Amino acid sequence: MKKLGLVRDIDLALHLPLRYEDETRLTPIGTLTEGDTAQVEGELRDSRVEHSRTRRHLVARVRDGSGDLVLRWLNFYPSQLKQLSPGRRVRVRGEVRGGFLGLEIVHPVLKVVAPGAALPTTLTPVYPASAQLPQAYLRKAVESALRRAVLDELLPTDALPPGLPSLRQAVLALHHPAPGVDMASLEDRTHPAWQRLKFDELLRQQLSQAFAQAERAQLAAPPLQPRGADHLRARLAAALPFALTAAQQRVVAEIERDLALAKPMHRLLQGDVGSGKTVVAALAAATTISAGWQCALMAPTEILAEQHFRKLIDWLEPLGVRVAWLTGSRKGRARQAMVEAVGSGEAALVVGTHAVIQDDVHFARLGLAVVDEQHRFGVEQRLALRAKLGAQRAEGAQAAQGLDVGRSAALEPHLLMMSATPIPRTLAMTYFADLDISTLDELPPGRTPVVTKVFADDKRPQVIARIRDELARGAGRQVYWVCPLIEESDRVEGAASPAHPAGDARVMAPGNGRRPPLDLQNATDTHAELSAALPGTMVGLLHGRMPAAEKAAVMSLFTQGQMRVLVATTVIEVGVDVPAASLMVIEHAERFGLAQLHQLRGRVGRGTEASVCVLLYTSPLSPTAKERLRALAETTDGFEIARRDLEIRGPGEFMGARQSGDALLRFADLATDAALLAHARELAPRLLRESPAAAAQHVARWLGSRADYLKA
């Protein structure tokens, strides 16, 4: 129960049924017809194990005076046979179907009853449960929790949407609907009792956001403004090889305005792939550093972190900034030296993966934390980052009490998150109400949109010929060939591969005697195939299981242009930036999610050359896969793609928070409950003003121990 978050009585009271079973009525066996779901009661006549050629069945008969019904179990324990001794009175439920011996129920729900035992008077709830938590146990637990749970009204009744019952009425009605209730309205959750629960949930969500905002307003951050006339920030801007787009100038100004304030920035920079977020982060870093503070930049994969590192070194080291670099694969003395440079403040900028926030890393004066591709970090990692930032503050407070008063006394760093996946408006209003958003809505000049083509994989030879042509057209052209990451379990079902946080995160222990995982096999085969088909061309291979140094070497050959074709798994998915790459082939494109395909495609079209993305698929295509590929061919607009993605996948997935689905809305649905949401948005500020204690109680009632996830 704890795993399901069912700890307090109120948790159980708010654990609402998925559906109901009608055990209030008995159907005479003689009136049953095929396809009915029904409950019958009668006497067991005989029971035995039947042997067919291939398997054993447990078979029994029940008779009620109007007829006979066969009960059949395909899987059973020997002890079950004893339970079915003839003469016993049983109540059985299930779907009736036509069998060889007449009507039968396969795997009925069966209960031994005393003659004349009363029937339930309300529908029987079926709760979300788990394999280790049987329905019957959960039902009893909910039943007794309902007797104790405090369900009194916390909200002003005049402020509720009209026509909704009290919370207590709603909860009781949903756990035990009266027999005559309109089942359809329970199922599609339009019943007023459901509306009430959804409304309370949405209100809870709005209030949580308001509390988080208020909590943050209490925190102090260092105001970061460049010092001196010829400061780093100005020198970096002058040294850039290009002029900022108008959109970049606007968001840089928004960020710098926040940084100059004495309260922590909490800002998301969203901009489509290739819109130039990195340089915005670099300018924010320069501002931070020239104000005398440190900046940390985190990326979800080593490859991306490494690429940022190179770019930032190029930009900042000539200006005298010491850049440190921390990733999981950097160990021993090298790591120790970096950790020390961070702790002494000597390294003004620290770039890396989530290794940057590990326990032994202490910043001297962290002023700004930048999280790139923040949606690719798991909830756990985002929580760890927040904890780290909090710890930073505590350390600062301690230092201030001692001698070293000049340190970051109790100050919280500013936080800049970056993402290529824009947040749809409804989500921005709910989950991210506590977040300021800057948007890069313009691509750097000179880009031609990527043309996307979709082919069945029998066109593979033509596609390879196309690569040959592309390479022949000039030295400045390069090609990605992307192979999907296939999970062992996918092999059976051939299902779409889920989006992965990062190839690196799934490194398997090498040399454990197993055959290479399929994705590797796939990428290796393709690598061999292309090497043979393109003699005289350097074709590289990149996947998540390669040692970091090898990965870095391959990436560097490709970045410099010596390696012209790169066969890769999804390790290249996020952020990799090689402007000369003008052709991308994605094989088994049907296995990727929409957002992931868009990210991948974003690796081309970064230079001035017209670029092409070829999506190869293997038939047959499922309808949703077809939908995804079509969407991708039709538009290159990341906002439009995010909108369609949300339609296909729903917000839980979108948030990258599947593990903590509890923190998301359980009952309300942003798409269908917009009116309730609007009402909740209106009521939340009023409640906070007029009865803040009730508001806090309302949040606690709904959230309990799950509150932490909201901050991720």
* Residues at the site binding ligand ADP, with contacts judged by CB under 6 A: 242, 244-245, 248, 271, 273-279, 420, 444, 575, 577, 579, 606
CA 23 to chain centre: 39
Half-sphere exposure (CA, 13 Å, Cβ side) for 304? 26
274 contact choice in Mg ion, ligand ADP, none (CB below 5 to 8 Å, kind-dependent): ligand ADP
CB nearer Mg ion, residue 575 or residue 593: 575
273 contact choice in Mg ion, ligand ADP, none (CB below 5 to 8 Å, kind-dependent): ligand ADP
CA distance 410 to 391: 10
Residue whose C-beta lies closest to ligand ADP: 276
Name the minimum Å distance from CB 443 to ligand ADP.
8
Name the minimum Å distance from CB 312 to ligand ADP.
11
SS3 at position 61: strand
Name the minimum Å distance from CB 654 to ligand ADP.
19
271 contact choice in Mg ion, ligand ADP, none (CB below 5 to 8 Å, kind-dependent): ligand ADP
CB nearer ligand ADP, residue 29 or residue 578: 578
Name the minimum Å distance from CB 417 to Mg ion.
12
444 contact choice in ligand ADP, Mg ion, none (CB below 5 to 8 Å, kind-dependent): ligand ADP
Phi, psi (degrees; rounded to nearest 5) at 41: -135, 140
* Other Cβ atoms within 10 Å of 536 Cβ, number: 5
CB nearer ligand ADP, residue 280 or residue 684: 280
C-alpha dist (Å) from residue 213 to 261, 263, 375, 710: 16, 12, 20, 12
The residues facing 63 across adjacent strands are 43, 68
Q: Which amino acid, one-letter code, is at 482?
A: V
CB nearer Mg ion, residue 312 or residue 710: 312
* Other Cβ atoms within 10 Å of 403 Cβ, number: 8
Two structure tokens written together for 56: 């054993």
CB nearer ligand ADP, residue 327 or residue 439: 439
CA distance 665 to 427: 11
CB nearer ligand ADP, residue 277 or residue 365: 277
Q: List own/partner pairs for 85-89 with CB under 8 A and 24 or more apart.
A: 85/44, 85/47, 86/43, 86/44, 86/45, 86/46, 86/47, 87/43, 87/44, 88/43, 88/44, 88/112, 89/41, 89/42, 89/43, 89/44, 89/113, 89/114, 89/115
- Tell me the number of residues near Mg ion by CB under 5 A: 1
Phi, psi (degrees; rounded to nearest 5) at 370: -110, 130
Q: Which amino acid, one-letter code, is at 176?
A: H
Name the minimum Å distance from CB 107 to ligand ADP.
53
Name the minimum Å distance from CB 245 to ligand ADP.
5
CB nearer ligand ADP, residue 291 or residue 304: 304
The residues facing 370 across adjacent strands are 297, 416
CA distance 212 to 711: 8
276 contact choice in ligand ADP, Mg ion, none (CB below 5 to 8 Å, kind-dependent): ligand ADP
CB nearer Mg ion, residue 575 or residue 638: 575
Q: Which amino acid, one-letter code, is at 311?
A: K
Question: Which stretch in 139-147, 571-579, 673-681, 689-697 sits in contact with Mg ion by CB under 5 A?
Answer: 571-579
State yes or no: residue 575 binds Mg ion (CB under 5 A).
yes
CB nearer Mg ion, residue 17 or residue 575: 575
Based on its alpha-carbon atoms, the radius of gyration of the chain, rounded to whole angstroms, reads 31
By CB atoms closer than 10 A (0-12, 13-18, 19+), residue 359 is exposed
CB nearer Mg ion, residue 27 or residue 421: 421
CB nearer ligand ADP, residue 275 or residue 294: 275
**By the 8 A CB rule, do 585 and 452 touch?**
no
382 contact choice in ligand ADP, Mg ion, none (CB below 5 to 8 Å, kind-dependent): none
Q: Which amino acid, one-letter code, is at 651?
A: P
The residues facing 105 across adjacent strands are 71, 96
264 contact choice in Mg ion, ligand ADP, none (CB below 5 to 8 Å, kind-dependent): none
Name the minimum Å distance from CB 467 to ligand ADP.
23
Name the minimum Å distance from CB 7 to ligand ADP.
42
Question: Which stretch in 489-497, 567-575, 620-628, 643-651 sits in contact with Mg ion by CB under 5 A?
Answer: 567-575
Name the minimum Å distance from CB 240 to ligand ADP.
8
Name the minimum Å distance from CB 420 to Mg ion.
7
427 contact choice in Mg ion, ligand ADP, none (CB below 5 to 8 Å, kind-dependent): none
Residue whose C-beta lies closest to Mg ion: 575
Name the minimum Å distance from CB 270 to Mg ion.
11
Q: Which residues bind Mg ion (CB under 5 A)?
A: 575
